[in-house]
């Protein structure tokens, strides 16, 4: 695809070459994300970061990624602080805000709303999650992480075995990830959820018609016994009618170090889009895994910055100019990046 000026709305818009392109640019962003160099390539550009649903990582990493390229960020969070609370339509909001920004990132609770916004926008729009539909940038950073983690163990994405665990009905990250895996070959996908929260049938069908094998189960330990990646997710409480309904499923699949030691292969990589629900009644990934070197959740979150930098650089057509506008870092660059 031609990234220049394009919206990033769904994983379905990408082909294999596009993914390789994004990941090559993301790799080139690492020295900037690690503060070994700074670049001013987007100096003067403005990103509108519009988040109408709770977010920490996605919102802040979009903002940091844009800042790291030298651009400025204007942020709107929550309906109550925007004119949508006064009855303004998405169309009008998009017409107006796209006049103030060079690119807009948006999260919204309604499926399809970011695409609707993009139709009216005069600048590229990047989907930061639309309801339980899609979260394309998360899937990209997830796959970037899977590739890196597996490569460090001498393996590749083709032929790998991936378990997705938790709320597979409402979890937009796993929906986008399934679509992205369809660009690869011969993957075994093990889906573990309460049957009421199972992966939508059309996504299972999409995986199978791409040549992948899919197993569906309500049993955690057997399903994580033979996988390269165990990708855990949170019960998406905000999509249920009530907290009580979400409580029926919370805590159903808990992974901790003793279960890992007993059932997983020693190299299984543990992932989670985060936030993990660390309340006692949920605790899908116990903190006793934090010392496990195969717990990749914080590396995964870090990878969000370079992947989002790559998307900005491609959409605004400056990927080839980033190094030209580079400078040395003048400050003490922190510890352990």
The residue (of 127 and 233) whose beta carbon lies closer to ligand NCD is 233
User: Using CA of residue 83, residue 84, residue 89, residue 94, what is the dihedral sign?
Assistant: positive
Distance of alpha carbon 92 from alpha carbon 103, whole angstroms: 16
Alpha-carbon distance values, 120 to 94, 114, 276, 299 (Å): 6, 10, 35, 36
What three-state secondary structure class fits 84? helix
4 is catalytic: no
Q: Shortest Cβ distance from residue 255 to ligand NCD (Å)?
A: 15
CA-angle at 61, arms to 150 and 228, nearest 5°: 15
58 is catalytic: yes
Residue 10 binds to ligand NCD (criterion: CB under 6 A)? no
Residue 57 binds to ligand NCD (criterion: CB under 6 A)? yes
| Size, binding site for ligand NCD by CB under 6 A | 12
Residue 20 neighbours by CB distance under 10 Å: 11
Residue 58 binds to ligand NCD (criterion: CB under 6 A)? yes
Contacts of 54 (CB under 8 A, 6+ apart): 238
Q: Shortest Cβ distance from residue 138 to ligand NCD (Å)?
A: 5
Indicate the pairing of strand 125-130 with strand 103-108: parallel
10, 93, 127, 138: which one binds ligand NCD (CB under 6 A): 138
Residue 169 binds to ligand NCD (criterion: CB under 6 A)? no
The residue (of 57 and 188) whose beta carbon lies closer to ligand NCD is 57
Strand partners, 111: none
Distance of alpha carbon 236 from alpha carbon 221, whole angstroms: 22
169, 172, 175, 212: which one binds ligand NCD (CB under 6 A): 172
Phi, psi of 327 (to 5 degrees): -135, 165
77 is catalytic: no
Active site residue: 58, 76, 93, 268, which one?
58
> Which DSSP helix (H) or strand (E) runs through 181?
helix 172-181
239 is catalytic: no
7, 252, 273, 302: which one binds ligand NCD (CB under 6 A): 273
Active site residue: 35, 37, 40, 57, which one?
57
212 is catalytic: no
In the range 224-243, which residues lie near ligand NCD by CB under 6 A? Answer: 233-234, 236
Cα first-last separation, the chain: 33
Residue 131 binds to ligand NCD (criterion: CB under 6 A)? no
Binding footprint of ligand NCD on the chain (CB under 6 A): 57-58, 129, 135, 138, 172-173, 233-234, 236, 273-274
The catalytic residue positions are: 57-58, 86, 107, 135
């Amino acid at each position: 695809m031609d990234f220049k000026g394009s919206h990033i709305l769904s994983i379905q818009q990408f082909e294999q070459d596009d993914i390789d392109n994004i990941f090559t640019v993301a790799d080139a962003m690492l020295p900037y994300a690690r503060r070994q160099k700074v670049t001013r390539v987007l100096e003067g550009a403005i990103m509108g970061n519009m988040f109408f649903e709770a977010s920490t990582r996605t919102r802040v990493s979009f903002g940091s990624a844009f800042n790291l390229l030298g651009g400025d960020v204007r942020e709107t969070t929550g309906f109550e602080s925007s004119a949508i609370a006064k009855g303004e339509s998405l169309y009008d909001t998009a017409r107006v805000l796209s006049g103030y920004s060079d690119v807009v990132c948006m999260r919204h609770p309604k499926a399809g709303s970011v695409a609707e916004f993009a139709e009216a926008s005069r600048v590229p729009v990047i989907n930061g999650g639309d309801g339980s539909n899609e979260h394309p940038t998360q899937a990209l950073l997830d796959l970037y992480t899977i590739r890196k983690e597996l490569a460090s163990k001498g393996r590749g994405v083709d032929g790998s075995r991936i378990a997705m665990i938790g709320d597979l009905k409402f979890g937009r990250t796993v929906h986008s990830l399934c679509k992205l895996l369809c660009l690869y070959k011969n993957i075994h996908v093990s889906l573990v959820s309460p049957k009421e929260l199972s992966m939508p049938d059309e996504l299972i069908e999409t995986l199978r018609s791409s040549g992948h094998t899919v197993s569906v189960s309500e049993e955690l330990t057997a399903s994580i016994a033979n996988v390269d990646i165990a990708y855990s997710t949170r019960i998406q409480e905000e999509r249920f009618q009530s907290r009580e309904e979400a409580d029926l499923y919370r805590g159903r699949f808990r992974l901790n170090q003793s279960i890992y030691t007993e059932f997983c292969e020693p190299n299984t990589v543990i992932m989670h889009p985060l936030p993990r629900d660390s309340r006692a009644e949920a605790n899908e990934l116990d903190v006793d895994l934090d010392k496990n070197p195969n717990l990749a959740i914080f590396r995964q979150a870090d990878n969000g910055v370079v992947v989002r930098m790559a998307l900005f650089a491609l959409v605004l057509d400056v990927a080839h100019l980033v190094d030209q506008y580079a400078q040395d870092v003048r400050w003490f660059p922190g510890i352990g990046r």
